[in-house]
Amino acid sequence: MNVHFIQHEIFEAPSAYLVWAEQRNYNITFSRVYKNESLPDTVENIDLLIVMGGPQSPETTQEECPHFNAEAEIAFIQKCIDAGKAVVGICLGSQLIGEAFGGKFEHSPEKEIGVFPIQLTENGLKDEKINHFGSILPVGHWHNDMPSLTPQSKVLANSEGCPRQIVAYTDLVYGFQCHMEFMQETIELLIAEELDFLNNNTIHKFVQKPDEIRNYDYTEMNNKLFQFLDKLTEELKLKN
């Protein structure tokens, strides 16, 4: 299994996604665009593409962020989808997937930072790759926006602050607005980026203080993510 990561910032690390791939001895490659690493020339040697988050949006220009080329990433995601690859996007990555399907990302009704529960929808409870999450699962959040919907997509989970937490675009393409990959080292990097805001926030009701975020045990959430990824790669093998 060949797993390729697109990583936009050092503090938006793949964390549990990378641990999962390493534990299974998969071949792992990276496009660390914050280091100006290029996207692959071809999708031929990719089975699973994982597109990480970032503070950018699909509308961010290269004038605003020179290392982020939204148009190129969307086109690359489209190539992977067209070639029958599995694709998972997290936060910004999920929004880029929606754009690749012709949708338009939107702002979330609420800013969410911390750990808050998601609820599986009826479609989520029917989806065999994620129904082991249970009807309610506390997960990580760090976002302002949310992915678009298309006529074929299905919302699998929502939260009190955001109606699109997990979206299935096809049997092999999933967008996660939430962050089930969070681990302690990742959390510290993210907190460092937002420390003043987290300490001083008095407006956003779904934004936790640093100690609340860092003291949460993410193990169960990570393990449920591993199960999803195992099921996704098994389906990919069956289709190929």
pLDDT, one tens digit per residue, over 149-192 is 999 999 999 999 999 999 999 999 999 999 999 999 999 999 99
Task: Please answer whether residues 96 and 59 qualify as being in contact, where contact means their C-beta atoms are separated by less than 8 angstroms.
Answer: no
pLDDT at 152: 94
Closest CA to 145 of 88, 198, 95, 194: 95
**Residue 233 above 90 pLDDT?**
yes
**Given this model, what pLDDT does residue 36 score?**
97
Which residue ranges form the domains of the chain, and what is each CATH number?
2-239 (3.40.50.880)
pLDDT at 34 (0 to 100): 98
19: pLDDT confidence band, cut at 50, 70 and 90? very high
What is the average pLDDT across 7-17? 97
User: ∠ at Cα 91 (87, 97), nearest 5°?
Assistant: 40
pLDDT of residue 239: 86
What is the average per-residue pLDDT within 41-49?
97
- For residue 240, what pLDDT is reported? 81
Candidates 209, 151, 180; CA nearest to 93 is 180
Q: What is the mean pLDDT of residues 114-118?
A: 98
Residues designated catalytic: 91, 179, 181
C-alpha 129/C-alpha 142 separation (Å) is 23
Cα 47 off chain centre by: 17
Contact 93, 87 (CB under 8 A): no
Question: What phi-psi label fits residue 143: left (phi over 0), alpha (psi between -120 and 50 degrees) or beta?
Answer: beta
Query: Which whole-number Å values give the CA distances from 212 to 15, 187, 207, 216, 217, in the listed order?
Result: 19, 11, 10, 7, 10
pLDDT of residue 31: 98
- Length of the chain as a residue count: 240
Give mean pLDDT, residues 210-214.
96
